[in-house]
């Protein structure tokens, strides 16, 4: 590994600092964030920094797709709630 030794993520990957693992294989470690900013907040780290750098653009594209999907789901949820609300008003 080519991480700086004081890097907290390197310590998590090497097992020096415990984490709440969600998934792990020989290349990737996924674990729950200790200070989540959402109901589900998972951090995904490559074990090897060179692979992490090589995959950066792919991860960025995936992140953008996830953000777009999130916005679409929010929009559909608002439409659904509005539809349910108007149906309930018509019942009375």
CATH of the domain at 24: 3.30.428.10
pTM: 0.50
CA distance 46 to 13: 9
What is the per-residue pLDDT for 31?
A: 95
Is 73 in the same domain as 34? no
Domain that holds residue 73: 55-87
Kindly state whether residue 92 falls inside one of the protein's structural domains. no
CA distance 38 to 63: 15
What is the per-residue pLDDT for 77?
A: 78
Give the strand pairing for 28-32 and 21-24.
Answer: antiparallel
Is 39 in the same domain as 83? no
What is the per-residue pLDDT for 37?
A: 92
Count of structural domains, the chain: 2
Q: Are 2 and 49 in contact (CB under 8 A)?
A: yes
CA distance 58 to 65: 11
What is the per-residue pLDDT for 36?
A: 92
Residue-by-residue pLDDT tens, the chain, 92 positions = 455 657 788 888 888 899 999 999 988 899 999 999 988 899 998 887 655 555 666 777 788 888 888 888 888 777 766 666 666 655 54
């Amino acid at each position: 590994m080519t991480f700086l030794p004081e890097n907290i993520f390197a310590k998590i990957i090497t097992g020096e600092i415990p984490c709440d693992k969600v998934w792990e294989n020989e290349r990737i470690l996924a674990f729950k964030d200790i200070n989540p900013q959402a109901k589900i907040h998972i951090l995904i780290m490559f074990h090897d920094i060179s692979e992490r750098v090589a995959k950066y653009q792919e991860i960025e594209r995936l992140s953008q797709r996830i953000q777009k999907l999130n916005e679409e789901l929010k929009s559909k949820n608002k439409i659904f709630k509005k539809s349910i609300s108007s149906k309930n008003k018509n019942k009375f």
